[in-house]
């Protein structure tokens, strides 16, 4: 017997109450084209993209990549109680901060409640019972209840390495420089207040990371490049530096040593895929060269696989 088509107005993710309102019977909810990712939630497999996360990280897909936790959060939100909220890695994914790949690719949802309420427990959910003094809960632009950006960062102190904490902190405090940039998600003062809110696991790593966060960084790779330079014993370059000659801004460079007229530019994969961006880069490098600046161009391969050679190039340029 051919199963009955679902009403066109039924959304991709729905609850039993929404199904009843659309006159969908219980027997139809047991059909193979519907799944139950969580209790009280149904998904239409014909409309929901359930494709698995890529197995290899690629910068080319980083801007378009939507972590599976974001999709699953939209599903679980229909069944959340009023006291539950997204936290930890899930909140970080919702705030679109640069998580390391092993974290971004997971589909486990982190859901918290304030003490003394009991942490949620369900398949695909990691529940947390958190101290009310240590979190601030806000409404995300999507409408979900979620820990604030600063609280989310502080919760990751036991999850991520120090360099990852710095990269996320850089993204949160990044100052918008163009009209299309998103607003700053948190200030350094807010991050510090989150760390100082009370006894918190991972506080030592958070304090170390806090001192290395800078507000003019555009990407995770730029953060990792800056930290690699400093960890090698070289002076810290200035991120997001505007090169101005005779009152005219020639370019903004990723990292700079102005006293040595030396700039470092991280060449992400998008620079190779976008001919217009590539042409703009060439013109920008020519303007910098005409002004006496030396530009060191850095790739992912340099940073990940040939770091000693990269550090040597920078050391020679500064010498």
Q: What is the pLDDT of residues 183-208, one digit of tens each?
A: 999 999 999 999 999 889 899 999 99
Measured distance CA(190)–CA(149) in Å, rounded: 9
CB 183 within 8 A of CB 171: no
Q: Can you tell me the mean pLDDT for 145-166?
A: 97
Query: Does residue 242 carry a pLDDT above 90?
Result: yes
Residues of the chain above pLDDT 70, percent: 91
Which of 27-31, 133-137, 224-228, 231-235 is the least confident region?
27-31
Q: What are phi and psi of 69, to 5 degrees?
A: -65, -30
pLDDT at 129: 96
Q: Can you tell me the mean pLDDT for 5-21?
A: 77
Q: What average pLDDT does the structure give for the chain? A: 88
Query: Does residue 255 carry a pLDDT above 60?
Result: yes
pLDDT at 23: 78
pLDDT band for position 60 (cuts 50, 70, 90): very low
Residues of the chain above pLDDT 90, percent: 60
Residues paired with 60 in a beta bridge: none
pTM of the model: 0.84
Q: Which fold has domain 220-318?
A: Endonuclease; Chain A (3.40.960)
Query: Does residue 30 carry a pLDDT above 90?
Result: no
pLDDT band for position 11 (cuts 50, 70, 90): confident
pLDDT at 273: 66
Query: Does residue 93 carry a pLDDT above 50?
Result: yes
Q: Can you tell me the mean pLDDT for 17-38?
A: 77
SS3 (DSSP) at 288: helix
Helix (H) or strand (E) holding 248: strand 248-257
pLDDT band for position 61 (cuts 50, 70, 90): very low
Q: In the chain, where does the domain assigned CATH 3.40.960.10 lie?
A: 220-318
Helix (H) or strand (E) holding 146: strand 145-147
pLDDT at 204: 95
Which of 103-107, 157-161, 286-290 is the least confident region?
103-107
Query: Does residue 87 carry a pLDDT above 90?
Result: yes
- Strands, sheet with 262-266, edge to edge from the N-terminal-most edge strand: 238-245, 248-257, 262-266, 294-298
Which of 63-72, 168-177, 251-260 is the least confident region?
63-72
């Amino acid at each position: 017997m051919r199963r009955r088509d679902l009403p066109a107005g039924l959304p991709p993710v729905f609850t039993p109450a929404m199904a009843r309102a659309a006159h969908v019977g219980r027997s139809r909810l047991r059909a193979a084209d519907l799944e139950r990712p969580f209790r009280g939630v149904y998904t239409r497999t014909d409309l929901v993209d359930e494709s698995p996360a890529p197995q290899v990280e690629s910068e080319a897909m980083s801007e378009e990549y939507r972590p599976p936790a974001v999709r699953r959060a939209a599903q679980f939100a229909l069944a959340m109680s009023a006291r539950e909220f997204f936290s930890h890695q899930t909140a970080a994914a919702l705030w679109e901060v640069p998580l390391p790949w092993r974290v971004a690719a997971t589909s486990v949802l982190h859901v918290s409640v304030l003490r003394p309420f009991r942490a949620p427990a369900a398949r695909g959910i990691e529940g947390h019972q958190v101290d009310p003094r240590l979190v601030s809960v806000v409404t995300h632009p999507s409408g979900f209840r979620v820990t604030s950006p600063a609280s989310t960062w502080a919760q990751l102190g036991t999850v991520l390495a120090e360099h990852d904490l710095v990269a996320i902190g850089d993204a949160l405090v990044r100052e918008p420089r163009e009209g299309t940039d998103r607003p700053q998600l948190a200030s350094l003062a807010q991050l510090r207040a989150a760390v100082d809110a009370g006894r918190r696991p991972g506080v030592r790593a958070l304090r170390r990371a806090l001192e290395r966060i800078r507000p003019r960084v555009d990407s995770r790779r730029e953060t990792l490049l800056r930290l690699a330079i400093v960890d090698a014993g070289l002076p810290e370059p200035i991120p997001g530096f505007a090169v101005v000659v005779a009152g005219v801004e020639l370019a903004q460079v990723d990292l700079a040593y102005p006293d040595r007229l030396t700039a470092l530019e991280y060449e992400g994969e998008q620079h190779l895929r976008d001919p217009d961006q590539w042409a703009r880069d060439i013109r920008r490098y020519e303007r910098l060269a005409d002004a006496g600046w030396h530009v060191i161009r850095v790739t992912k391969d340099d940073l990940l696989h040939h770091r000693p050679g990269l550090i040597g190039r920078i050391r020679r340029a500064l010498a």
